[in-house]
Homo-oligomer: A and B are copies of this chain.
């Protein structure tokens, strides 16, 4: 029995699906990051932080909320934001309102907004070429549906159980 077949309690079909997913996301992630770095100088992590902040009200989020959205531990978020602050993409500081006076927030800068706008133009082409043009509508929709279901479950323990 190879290690690849060795996930106990999973049917062969479930293991095949899981292995295909794991390998795909490893290869796709690398390919997308190579392109992002080449055309925009951004890592996958930079890109994801910028996209999440750009979509947030006021382009700002409390660090605790940003960490929960990304599923990152505190130290990972801290180091990532330190690098992005140094490059002027993001600023970090206390919340301006009295209600959250002691909370620290991350704010997208104008340079950060310009960087994500520029990156999105090239990234759209990458996504079309590597994903959207490869799958038919039904496959892409199924991928989105499965992703949303997984994401909802992944985020549930943060708010509910623990």
Contacts and interface: CB of A to CB of B under 8 A. Distances in A.
A30 B23 CA distance: 16
B55 A120 contact: no
Given A18-B132, A151-B20, A151-B27, A6 B120 contact: yes
A31 interface: yes
Contacts of A145: 17, 139, 142
Number of this chain's copies in the assembly equals: 2
A48 B22 contact: yes
- Interface range on chain A (Cβ under 8 Å from partner): 35 or more
Q: Decide if the interface of chain A is mainly helix, strand, loop or mixed.
A: helix
Interface string A14-50: 1011101111111111110010000000001000101
A21 B154 contact: no
A54 interface: yes
13 contacts: A3-B54, A9-B125, A20-B148, A21-B147, A24-B150, A27-B70, A30-B71, A130-B153, A134-B149, A139-B145, A140-B146, A142-B142, A143-B143
A101 to B, nearest CB: 28
A23 B141 CA distance: 15
